[in-house]
Structure 1
Amino acid sequence: MKPSLAKGHNSKNNVPHDNYERKPRYAILVNDMLNDFIHGKLKCDRAAKIIPKIKLILEKARQKDIPIFYCNDEHLRIDTYELKLWGPHAMKDSDGAKVIDELRPSANDYIVPKRRYSSFDGTSLDNSLGETYNGKGADTIIMTGVHTHICVKHTVYDAFVRGYDLIVAEDGVEAFTGDDHVAGLKYMRLNYGAKMEKVSDILKSIS
């Protein structure tokens, strides 16, 4: 598995405006598809149905050399701000912090450990995205994983303020309840301009 690249810059905002429609430079983000969230301490029963959907995206992305980023909670005991609220979960080096077997990363995928809701907060994600495509940088994020109204939403916000185009796989993200899921999708669409797309449509776009 590739480590997140240490330094670099994302040149997505330095590309001159052209009169032709450019081809998006996609990156797939897989958020918190970990044992503790899918099978364990903070199990989300609704997440089971998105596993095969995410797997389809990952398979197609690997065929097309689209970079994949696994953004994974990896908490320390000092992370009391979250642990007090949710209890110990996805602790560093625990089985609960490992990606579920069904979506196991490949050698060329990026692993982004995180200790907060957003996958950008305190991580090298932005720099690593900027190093893709021979330094041109990914400019369009396709978001998958859990939870729609928490970590997914916070990550999409941080991508929005950094200038990325945003696609949320509406049937490739989930939350504890249907209401939370729908509310999260609506919030990201209205406030961050994120496009909500079915996985079937995403597969066509990245093919």
Structure 2
Amino acid sequence: MTTLTDRPGTALLVIDVQNGVMAASHDTEAVIERIGGLVARAREAHVPVVWVQHSSEELPVGSEQWEYVPQLQRADGEALVAKEHGDSFEATDLEQVLAEAAVGRLVVTGAQTDACIRSTIHGAFTRGYDVVLVGDAHTTEDLSAYGAPAPGDVIAHTNLYWGFQSAPGRTAAVVPAADVAFAG
């Protein structure tokens, strides 16, 4: 139902599942395992897997912190989008990658829930994409020392409000990894 014409395809976005991002994240191993399962299912369904990789002072390009976790490996031919901002669309080639693949529906996973995930799902939705947030395949670190809620609460709240997101001609949903349907 996307507002993007002639773009019936789906893509799986794997956002910032990097060593430095995941080191202190909530439920890290289980989230990585679920993302790995989604990647395998997307590949089997011939659905594009798009890898998004953040760089910053804390994640310098080429450093161990910047590298994707070793449990997840990008296959030859899968897009890699380099970013420096929270929204994976800002100052990147993500829109071009998705347009070339005729993608109008995104299945979103990764980190961090309260930063790059939230920015990207909103960015995609305002650009006309249907957006499925995989409710048990995104995570964040504990920032409660800075006034944020506990990580589990951040994740639960994001899932709650995204499930009620609406706009003309687009859909938003929260689905557990086991229930994600890839339509190629």
Q: Does the Cα contact within 8 Å between 1:153 and 1:188 map onto a contact in 2?
A: no
Percent identical among aligned pairs is 22
Instruction: Indicate which of 58, 61, 79 corresponds to 1:110.
Output: 79
Hey, what's the Cα distance between the residues in 1 that align with 2:4 and 2:179? 26
1:48 to partner: Cα distance: 2.0
Whichever residue aligns with residue 30 of structure 1, its letter is V
* Structure 2: segments with no counterpart, 5+ residues: 142-150
| C-alpha RMSD over aligned residues | 2.0
Tell me which residue corresponds to 2:132: 167
Aligned residue pairs total 170
Tell me which residue corresponds to 2:93: 124
Q: Which has the higher helix share?
A: 1
1:169 to partner: Cα distance: 0.6
Matches within 5 A, 1:2-17: 13-15=4-6
* Structure 1: segments with no counterpart, 5+ residues: 1-10, 16-22, 76-87
Query: What SS is found at the alignment partner of 1:101?
Result: coil
Tell me which residue corresponds to 2:172: 194
Tell me which residue corresponds to 1:185: 159
Tell me which residue corresponds to 1:35: 19
Instruction: Indicate which of 152, 157, 167 corresponds to 2:122.
Output: 157
Greater C-alpha Rg: 1
Hey, what's the Cα distance between the residues in 1 that align with 2:154 and 2:164? 15
Instruction: Indicate which of 28, 38, 51 corresponds to 1:70.
Output: 51
Q: Would you say 1:140 and 2:105 are equivalent positions?
A: yes
Hey, what's the Cα distance between the residues in 2 that align with 1:200 and 1:33? 19
1:12 to partner: Cα distance: 6.2
Hey, what's the Cα distance between the residues in 1 that align with 2:108 and 2:26? 20
Hey, what's the Cα distance between the residues in 2 that align with 1:91 and 1:185? 30
Instruction: Rate the CA distance shift 1:45–1:13 in 2: closer, same or farther, 3 A.
Output: closer
Hey, what's the Cα distance between the residues in 1 that align with 2:4 and 2:90? 20
Hey, what's the Cα distance between the residues in 2 that align with 1:157 and 1:30? 16
TM-score normalised according to structure 1 size: 0.76
Instruction: Rate the CA distance shift 1:13–1:206 in 2: closer, same or farther, 3 A.
Output: closer
Hey, what's the Cα distance between the residues in 1 that align with 2:121 and 2:27? 21
Q: Does the Cα contact within 8 Å between 1:28 and 1:142 map onto a contact in 2?
A: yes
Whichever residue aligns with residue 126 of structure 2, its letter is V
Q: Does the Cα contact within 8 Å between 1:118 and 1:154 map onto a contact in 2?
A: yes
